[in-house]
Chain A
Amino acid sequence: GAGVSQSPSNKVTEKGKDVELRCDPISGHTALYWYRQSLGQGLEFLIYFQGNSAPDKSGLPSDRFSAERTGGSVSTLTIQRTQQEDSAVYLCASSYGQAYYEQYFGPGTRLTVT
């Protein structure tokens, strides 16, 4: 596809379960970002991948959150032992080269922890 894709679009899980969220960036985009957005709020930076460099994990809220990017393309965000406060929309974005100010977002995964 031409755009950033994310799956699943919606995920309902029970408190304490682990979840995996997937992001497929635009082909050729070297940078990949994960954000979290709570209802009516701004975008909270979580993690950033650039090429083969070590990821910038400075935004991850706790050690229950982790992410990996395989082959410089697809990324998976994993949340272990989910809590109700993890409920939010998780957005993935990618950008090309040094134009990190121009990010292309996927449709997001709406996570609901019951």
Chain B
Amino acid sequence: GQSLEQPSEVTAVEGAIVQINCTYQTSGFYGLSWYQQHDGGAPTFLSYNALDGLEETGRFSSFLSRSDSYGYLLLQELQMKDSASYFCAASNRDDKIIFGKGTRLHILP
């Protein structure tokens, strides 16, 4: 089967750095995406890793290790507006992506 595991909740302090981990089990794996979803909103695409290593986009970075079936999203200089749910999603040869159950990020002032 195909599955992704990520923590259900993470809490961090404003201005700090937080890492959200994701492990996956999927056949025909192509890459790992990350999406952000605010309460009541639609998911929005953040990043995609097809190759091992770190991809940086502003305050957000995403990492992939194919050999470990593992990735993470790193958020730096946390802002209150970053409070949201974050989903990792694995893409495979079926042209679909399978979403994890999401990590709810709580940010404390």
Which residues of chain A from 70 to 107 have any CB-CB distance to chain B below 8 Å in the complex? 91, 93, 98, 100-107
Residue ranges of A at the interface with B (Cβ–Cβ < 8 Å) = 31, 33, 35, 41-43, 45, 48, 50, 56, 91, 93, 98, 100-108
Q: Can you name 30 A-B pairs with beta carbons within 8 Å?
A: A31-B95, A35-B99, A42-B99, A42-B100, A42-B101, A43-B43, A43-B87, A45-B96, A50-B95, A56-B94, A56-B95, A56-B96, A93-B43, A98-B95, A100-B95, A100-B96, A101-B30, A101-B89, A101-B91, A102-B33, A102-B45, A102-B48, A103-B45, A103-B97, A104-B45, A105-B42, A105-B44, A106-B42, A107-B41, A108-B42
- A33, B33: Cα distance in complex, Å: 16
Most buried by B among A31, A43, A45, A101: A101
Most buried by B among A50, A91, A103, A106: A103
- A98, B41: Cα distance in complex, Å: 25
Shortest Cβ distance from A26 into chain B, in angstroms? 13
Q: Residues of B contacting A33 with CB < 8 Å? A: 96
Decide if A101 touches B43 in the complex (CB within 8 Å). Answer: no
Asked if B31 is an interface residue, CB under 8 A from chain A, the answer is yes
- A42, B48: Cα distance in complex, Å: 18
Which residues of chain B from 67 to 109 have any CB-CB distance to chain A below 8 Å in the complex? 87, 89, 91, 94-102
Decide if A42 touches B31 in the complex (CB within 8 Å). Answer: no
- A41, B102: Cα distance in complex, Å: 7
State whether A43 and B99 are in contact (beta carbons under 8 Å apart), knowing that A100-B91, A106-B42 are contacts in the complex. yes
Shortest Cβ distance from A61 into chain B, in angstroms? 16
Q: Residues of A contacting B42 with CB < 8 Å? A: 91, 105-108
Contact for A101 among B31, B87, B94, B101, CB less than 8 A: B31
Q: Residues of B contacting A45 with CB < 8 Å? A: 96, 98-99
Most buried by A among B48, B97, B102: B97
